[in-house]
Amino acid sequence: MLQLENVVKTFGALRAVDGVSLHVRSGTMTGLIGPNGAGKTTLFNTIAGSHAPDAGTITLGGHPIGGLPAHQVFHRGLGRTFQIPRPLGSLTVIENMLLVPPGQAGERFWNTWLQRGKVRAQDAANLAQAREVIDFVGLSHLADQPARVLSGGQQKLLELARILMANPSMILLDEPAAGVNPVLLESLIERILLLNRRGITFLLIEHNMDMVMRLCNPVIVMAQGKVVMEGPPDAVRSDPRVLDAYLGDQP
Ligand SMILES: Nc1ncnc2c1ncn2[C@@H]1O[C@H](COP(=O)(O)OP(=O)(O)OP(=O)(O)O)[C@@H](O)[C@H]1O
Ligand SMILES: [Mg+2]
């Protein structure tokens, strides 16, 4: 599904992503772990189009996406969440959802004049989908509240919900468990598992090792911009290279 060959992303002299090659197989829930500063988020940003790679190739479903702007990558079926969610706080939950759908007929000026019926039908369909997705992530009771009243965990659910509006084939999750209370975390994990069973491929950055060991196979380990190893969770847990990668990070 997603293939990277020798991807490099530098910030001045720092090689934050330093020649990463990896494959994420279709239908998997692949984990990406590594110590702070390993380059995991930078790798996500480079895949999802927030940064252009300095070198290397990135393909999604066989099509090159390296260097495409974020909205184009998104419309090719790759959604991503941010380490710190950023909904528009003054808009309601449902309004945040309605900002997303791609190819809305109403966006085109002439359509609004020439095809008013079509626009109305599209808006109604979007609203119905938004309500369905909000229900799926368990936020329907907050649908008409401004997004700023949501807790950190609820904001993560809203982010996931927004991505789902675009019917993605693959989702990159950056630390979905961070700052989420245990009850909400269970519900988030359940939703992720359900979506994975429905065929969505996941690549998931997480420091919560219980969650990684429970959900992910394979697990890819990064340190200092490079892939250290990849394997099933049990093999990763007991590999000395992984311990080294984490201990090497200690002052
Ligand atoms: N926009 C940027 N400009 C300059 N340096 C950056 C930028 N973004 C990240 N870096 C640096 O690149 C390195 C990798 O950072 P990155 O955020 O990708 O790590 P990470 O693996 O996601 O860490 P964490 O687990 O703490 O989130 C770090 O040294 C970081 O300071
Ligand atoms: Mg990060």
Mutate to test the pocket of ligand 1, among 17, 20, 32, 41 (most ligand atoms within 8 A of CB): 41
pLDDT in tens, 77-125: 999 887 666 767 788 999 888 887 554 444 455 555 556 666 677 777 8
**Residue 117 and residue 135 in one domain:** yes
What pLDDT shows up at residue 183? 86
State pTM to two decimals. Answer: 0.88
Q: Is the dihedral of CA 69, 167, 205, 137 positive or negative?
A: positive
| Domain limit, last residue, from 132, 149, 166 | 149
Task: For the chain, give the mean pLDDT.
Answer: 88
Ligand 2 centre distance from Cα of residue 55 (Å): 21
**170, β-bridge pairs:** 78, 201
Ligand 1 centre distance from Cα of residue 111 (Å): 43
Q: Which residues keep their CB under 5 angstroms from ion ligand 2? A: 41
Query: Do the domain assignments include residue 248?
Result: no
**Residue 51 and residue 164 in one domain:** yes
What ligand 1 atom has the least distance to the C-alpha of 225?
Answer: 14
Query: Do the domain assignments include residue 245?
Result: no
Mean pLDDT confidence for 29-51? 96
Ligand 1 centre distance from Cα of residue 19 (Å): 16
CA 100 to chain centre: 15
Query: Do the domain assignments include residue 249?
Result: no
What pLDDT shows up at residue 9? 98
Mutate to test the pocket of ligand 1, among 7, 14, 81 (most ligand atoms within 8 A of CB): 14
Count of structural domains, the chain: 2
CA distance 165 to 48: 17
**Residue 79 and residue 157 in one domain:** yes
Query: Do the domain assignments include residue 250?
Result: no
* DSSP code, position 106: G
Ligand 2 centre distance from Cα of residue 130 (Å): 29
CA distance 86 to 148: 10
**Residue 145 and residue 160 in one domain:** no
CATH number, domain of 49, equals 3.40.50.300
CA distance 192 to 176: 10
pLDDT in tens, 186-237: 888 999 999 999 999 999 999 998 899 999 999 999 999 999 999 999 999 8
Query: Do the domain assignments include residue 47?
Result: yes
CA distance 105 to 61: 27
CA distance 1 to 61: 5
| Domain limit, last residue, from 149, 172, 191 | 149
- For residue 143, the enclosing domain spans 92-149
